[in-house]
């Protein structure tokens, strides 16, 4: 009924073969582009992706082969999960049945990170259908019997407020959808501006502490379980987003940063647009100031201060100026002290070559010491931060030292933490196994308490990471032993 060719396998989050929809269906639902942008979760991933990647995924959604859409979007390694369960609000189901006679899936509920219904402000419930462990994917409408129970979570008021703000930011990002595509370099600059505006520069430790407190409110909930909860991990999280980008990351990672720094997507876009409109400091296309002929300007207004003119110096004043210059005192300071012009000072230095050489040497040394002191102060205030983070706090200072005092700068950077983390060889698999075993035990207790059937599908629903973990046949022996024991005692099915 829907397709001109053989119907493809059903995927509710990223469908494909949309070019194969027959003309009758297109006249009702619209073309493939309209369906993608209005009825899938793809618009959430557009603004923080490259144009090339967006076009590649669009062709996959339209074409006959689904390909590696989730890999292309970075969902498999993004830390927020790639399994997007269908979600529904019980109040919306009742309202839909009352108004239309049947309930339907609301697209606003389906975006990852939206856990609260934006209309009724109640918890969304996940469907137990069309999951990786539920067998064949099928057409299904929402009904209460096929939804997981309401989550047994008692959130503090500030945590609920943070969760609602996060959901609002997700829907705001979706609303701009295909109309915006952010430049990664400019996004990093916006985050640095936000850190400055909030007073987190140069006290980077304060920033990491604040972010850890913010993410701790979201971290207990799926899909936010990968968010940092310690100051050290929060510092790494910030560093990854403020440094020069090496790729594109999950939009939820950006949105957590945006809601923490700016409070809303609108405030983030406002700063982004202002930075995008600002001219580059060394823009070769910038027009020079128009030439003005001073002779046509006429006499100066009577109230304008007359400019100082070069004058002949008395011997004792000339000697004082030369002593000041020998100490490396800046020219402007000498001009202000003796009431002379820069032209007079320059003329004096052209005559006294030894004094000029001494002034240049002393002035360069003072400037070097000033920049070194600034870097030492910045490093001292951010002792636990890596060189990359300290550098991002004052890029101009780092650039000056790199050009003029590279050896000293590299030596100072080598004394800072590297900011690198260990690889998978250092993962504590035993600790992971114990934690997963505890989660399974808690899920089984919840099901027994509710009087629900204890089957593997329901356990997978309560412990979303279990299915993927059990696919690694060489790990998690304690969890496997627990499940095997429960099956042998026929306490669980499947």
CB 443 within 8 A of CB 469: no
Q: Is the peptide bond before 223 cis (omega within 30 degrees of 0)?
A: yes
Specify the pLDDT at position 280: 58
pLDDT score of 289: 45
The two three-digit tokens of residue 448, written as one number: 């027994």
Closest CA to 363 of 416, 311, 397, 324: 324
What is the residue extent of each domain of the chain?
Answer: 18-72, 182-277, 315-414, 427-488
Alpha-carbon distance of 233 to 29, in angstroms, equals 45
Q: Tell me if residue 38 falls in helix, strand or coil.
A: helix
The structure tokens 């009702």 sit at: 28
Apex 253 CA angle, 249 and 254, nearest 5: 90
pLDDT of residue 117: 93
- Give 445-478 as a DSSP string: HHHHHHT---BHHHHHHHSTTHHHHHT-TTS-HH
Indicate the Cα dihedral angle 118, 120, 124, 127, nearest 10°: -110
Residue 354 has, within 13 A of its CA and on its CB side, a CA count of 2
Contact 206, 383 (CB under 8 A): no
Closest CA to 393 of 231, 215, 194: 194
* CA dist., res. 165 & res. 151, Å (int): 19
Instruction: Decide: 405 and 372 in contact? Cβ < 8 Å.
Output: yes
Residue linked to tokens 């850190």:
195
Query: What global pTM score does this model have?
Result: 0.66
- Identify whether the C-beta of residue 92 lies closer than 8 Å to the C-beta of residue 106: yes
Residues 134 and 106 sit within 8 Å (Cβ to Cβ): no
**pLDDT of 172:** 94
Is the Cα torsion angle 132, 219, 196, 412 positive or negative in sign?
negative
Q: Token digits for 440?
A: 């399974």
Burial degree of 254 (CB within 10 A; 0-12, 13-18, 19+): buried
DSSP code for 122: -
Q: Are 122 and 167 in contact (CB under 8 A)?
A: no
- Given a contact cutoff of 8 angstroms between Cβ atoms, the answer to whether 205 and 390 are in contact is no
Whole-angstrom distance, CA of residue 238 vs CA of residue 202: 14
User: Over its length of 494 residues, how does the chain's per-residue pLDDT go in tens digits?
Assistant: 777 766 666 678 888 888 888 888 888 888 889 999 999 999 999 999 988 889 999 998 888 777 788 888 888 888 898 888 899 999 999 999 999 999 999 999 999 999 999 999 899 999 888 777 766 677 889 988 888 888 777 778 888 899 999 999 999 999 998 788 999 999 999 999 999 999 888 778 899 999 999 999 999 888 998 999 999 899 989 988 988 777 778 999 999 999 999 999 999 999 999 999 887 554 444 444 443 444 333 444 444 444 555 556 778 788 888 888 888 888 888 888 888 888 888 888 888 888 888 888 888 888 899 999 999 998 888 887 888 888 888 889 999 999 999 999 999 988 888 766 555 556 788 998 999 999 888 888 888 887 777 778 778 888 878 888 888 888 899 999 988 888 877 777 66
Q: What is the pLDDT of residue 282?
A: 47
Chain segment 240-277, per-residue pLDDT in tens: 898 877 777 899 999 999 999 999 999 999 999 999 98
């Amino acid at each position: 009924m829907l397709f001109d060719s053989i119907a493809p396998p059903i995927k509710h989050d990223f469908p494909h073969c949309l070019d194969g929809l027959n003309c009758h269906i297109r006249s009702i639902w619209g073309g493939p582009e309209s369906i993608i942008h209005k009825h899938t979760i793809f618009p959430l991933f557009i603004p923080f992706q490259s144009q090339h990647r967006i076009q590649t995924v669009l062709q996959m959604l339209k074409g006959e082969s689904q390909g590696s859409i989730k890999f292309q979007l970075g969902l498999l390694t993004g830390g927020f999960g790639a399994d997007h369960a269908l979600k529904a609000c019980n109040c919306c189901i009742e309202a839909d049945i009352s108004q239309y006679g049947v309930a339907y899936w609301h697209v606003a509920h389906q975006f990852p990170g939206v856990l609260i219904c934006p209309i009724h402000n109640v918890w969304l419930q996940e469907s137990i259908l069309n999951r990786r462990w539920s067998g064949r994917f099928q057409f299904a409408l929402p009904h209460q019997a096929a939804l997981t129970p309401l989550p047994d979570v008692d959130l503090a008021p500030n945590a609920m407020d943070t969760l609602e703000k996060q959901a609002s930011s997700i829907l705001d990002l979706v609303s701009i959808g295909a109309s915006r595509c952010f430049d990664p370099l400019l996004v990093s600059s916006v985050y640095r501006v936000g850190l400055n505006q909030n007073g987190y520069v140069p006290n980077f430790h304060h920033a990491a502490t604040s972010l850890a407190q913010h993410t701790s409110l979201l971290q207990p909930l799926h899909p936010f379980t990968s968010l940092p909860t310690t100051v050290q991990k929060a510092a790494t999280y910030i560093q990854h987003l403020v440094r020069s980008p090496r790729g594109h990351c999950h939009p939820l990672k950006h949105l957590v940063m945006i809601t923490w720094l700016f409070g809303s997507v609108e405030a983030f876009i406002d700063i982004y647009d202002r930075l995008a409109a600002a001219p580059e400091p060394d823009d070769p296309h910038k027009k020079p100031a128009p030439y003005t002929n001073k002779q046509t300007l006429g006499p100066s207004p009577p109230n304008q201060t007359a400019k100082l003119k070069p004058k002949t110096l008395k011997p004792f004043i000339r000697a004082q100026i030369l002593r000041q210059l020998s100490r490396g005192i800046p020219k402007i300071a000498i001009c202000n002290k003796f009431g002379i012009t820069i032209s007079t000072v320059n003329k004096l230095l052209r005559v006294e070559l030894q004094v000029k050489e001494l002034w240049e040497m002393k002035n360069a040394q003072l400037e070097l010491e000033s920049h070194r002191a600034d870097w030492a102060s910045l490093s001292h205030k951010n002792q636990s931060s890596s060189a990359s983070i300290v550098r991002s706090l004052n890029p101009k200072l780092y650039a000056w030292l790199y050009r003029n005092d590279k050896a000293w700068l590299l030596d100072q950077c080598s004394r800072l933490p590297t900011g690198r983390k260990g690889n998978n060889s250092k993962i504590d698999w035993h600790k992971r196994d114990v934690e997963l075993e505890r989660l399974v035990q808690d899920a089984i207790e919840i099901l027994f308490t509710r009087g629900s059937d204890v089957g593997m599908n329901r356990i997978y629903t309560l412990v979303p990471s279990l299915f993927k973990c059990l696919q690694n046949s060489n790990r998690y022996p304690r969890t496997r032993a627990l499940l095997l024991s429960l099956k042998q005692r026929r306490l669980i099915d499947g």
